[in-house]
Structure 1
Amino acid sequence: MKRLPLLLRLLALALLVLFLWSPASFEPLLRPLTENGAPAIYNQGNLLTLTLQHLELVFAATALSTLIAVLLAILVTRPFGAEFLALSRSLVNIGQTFPPVAVLALSVPALGFGWKPTFVALFLYGLLPIFENTLTGLTTLPPAVTEAARGMGLTNRQRLLKVELPLALPVVLAGIRLSAVIGLATATIGSTVAARTLGEVIIAGLLSNNLAFIVQGGLIVAVLAVLIYDGLSGIEALLSRRLGDTTRR
């Protein structure tokens, strides 16, 4: 996925905001996709509210995945935690081993319907890319920089917080970007267990054979995914340039 030019980014964002704020304005464009007088705009809930709930769920799950994955990666890159690398990899691979649908099915009996089983599925699914990227970032640091930090008399904690994590941050952010985009798309299936996400719009379209519902639900998720991916890519590139300038000084 390539970054969009600035003008296209702003245009996509403006159209998305306009559609969510006033979806009726786009009814003429979606009307040809309906049959037998079916509504062209989703009318079983507020699209803006659903979008915000969708983003809230993804943000919360990604934030927890980031916290746990980064802590695990830090643990296994310390001398006292190196022996837990294999166990940590097995733990973060759970989400990739079981499809999100299977996690939802297993979670519902214990957690009930709603956002909780979806949150668990997104959390587990987001661990692996963040863990592996953090691990890569912490184990591929320039030796000269780490040796310089030791020579300055920094403690292990100071080296971690002031040198290692800042240098690894662009790589960690790449893992978070991947996790967030995957979570954004995966969250749509949460509506099958009554979670309030944009999957409601797509499912309603499938059940009523209304292509307009399917298109608008899918397009909102797709535009959000592209904008989030692009935004995080921009931050990652900025951090990489700044860290590059810092290490050259």
Structure 2
Amino acid sequence: MRPKRRGGWGLIWPALLLLLLIPNVLPRLLAPLSGGEIPNLGDTPLWRLALVHLGLVLGAEAVVLALGVPLAVLVTRPNRAALTGLTEALTGLGQTVPTLAILALAVPTLGLGVRPTLLGLVLYGLVPVVSNGIAGLLAVDPALRDVARGMGMTPRQQLYRVELPLSLPVLLAGIRTSTVYNVGTATIGAALGAGGLGLLIINGLSEQNTSLVVAGAVLSGLLALSLDALIGWFAPRE
């Protein structure tokens, strides 16, 4: 089958996000919420808050991939089926325990700032990557493995040349889900001093400033949509 053309509609979200990060654009749009006056969204430029937020999410996702993909590979090897359910149950604890509880428990050990926030993001984002990685690898047709083995491929070659390429679409779906989850979760890290777009929401709630809350929510939402669209852009098509 010929590959499908990739639509460009998804790229509207990154473009809109970049537009709103231009100084004074978003404050002017939020003026009706402040009785016609252009609201003050703080001394830190919005683009800098967005970069900090993006750094938290990408840093956490790098750790999630470094842990999640090898773990999914490990438990899907032959004669290790018993580990699959156990692994999914253990990683699932990251989403069953409330994020605020994880962060609160991490603070006494790691202190305030980036480190407890990254821990919470990693635990929360690990589940979709591990679950989808396991599902994608287990869905590979056993006949294809037999063909690869008959061609003289080693188990390592089978993994890298057959199993991982075939499971990549399912794995990427898990990465997209994990990334979108963590954009929202990272806003909570602002309460611990990690910064990011959540700082607008925290300050807005404490000051009862609707413009700040809306600005933080809109920019966080656009960042999540942008990352989802960009990851989807590189996903393989049938």
Same fold, TM-score > 0.5, yes or no? yes
Residue 103 of structure 1 aligns to which amino acid in structure 2? Answer: I
Task: Work out whether residues 11 and 229 of structure 2, in 8 Å CA contact, stay in contact via their aligned partners in 1.
Answer: no
Deviations 1:72-114 (A, max 9, x none): 1111111254343343223311211211110000000000000
In 2: Cα distance, 1:31 partner to 1:76 partner: 54
Give yes or no for the alignment of 1:166 onto 2:175: no
In 1: Cα distance, 2:65 partner to 2:205 partner: 34
Shift of 1:217: 0.8
Task: Work out whether residues 202 and 213 of structure 1, in 8 Å CA contact, stay in contact via their aligned partners in 2.
Answer: yes
Which secondary structure state, in structure 1, belongs to the residue aligned with residue 196 of structure 2? coil
Give yes or no for the alignment of 1:208 onto 2:207: yes
In 2: Cα distance, 1:31 partner to 1:219 partner: 15
Match of 2:132 in 1: 133
In 2: Cα distance, 1:68 partner to 1:46 partner: 34
Which secondary structure state, in structure 1, belongs to the residue aligned with residue 30 of structure 2? helix
In 2: Cα distance, 1:25 partner to 1:155 partner: 57
Match of 1:244 in 2: none
In 2: Cα distance, 1:93 partner to 1:12 partner: 30
Instruction: Choose between structure 1 and 2: higher helix proportion.
Output: 1
Which secondary structure state, in structure 1, belongs to the residue aligned with residue 234 of structure 2? helix
Residue 176 of structure 1 aligns to which amino acid in structure 2? Answer: I
In 1: Cα distance, 2:7 partner to 2:116 partner: 37
TM-score scaled to structure 1, two decimals? 0.87
In 1: Cα distance, 2:171 partner to 2:12 partner: 29
| Greater length-normalized contact order (CA 8 Å, ≥ 6 residues apart) | 2
| Paired positions, count | 233
Shift of 1:201: 0.4
- Unpaired segments of 5 or more residues in structure 1? 242-249
Match of 2:191 in 1: 192
Shift of 1:140: 0.8
Task: Work out whether residues 75 and 82 of structure 1, in 8 Å CA contact, stay in contact via their aligned partners in 2.
Answer: no
In 1: Cα distance, 2:72 partner to 2:213 partner: 40
Identity of aligned residues (%): 42
Give yes or no for the alignment of 1:228 onto 2:227: yes
Task: Work out whether residues 35 and 210 of structure 1, in 8 Å CA contact, stay in contact via their aligned partners in 2.
Answer: no
Match of 2:3 in 1: none
Task: Work out whether residues 61 and 119 of structure 1, in 8 Å CA contact, stay in contact via their aligned partners in 2.
Answer: yes
- Unpaired segments of 5 or more residues in structure 2? 1-5
Shift of 1:43: 1.4
In 2: Cα distance, 1:50 partner to 1:219 partner: 13
TM-score scaled to structure 2, two decimals? 0.90
In 2: Cα distance, 1:130 partner to 1:204 partner: 33
Residue 8 of structure 2 is aligned with which of 2, 6, 9?
A: 6
Shift of 1:67: 1.7
In 1: Cα distance, 2:166 partner to 2:39 partner: 49
In 1: Cα distance, 2:109 partner to 2:53 partner: 22
RMSD: 2.0
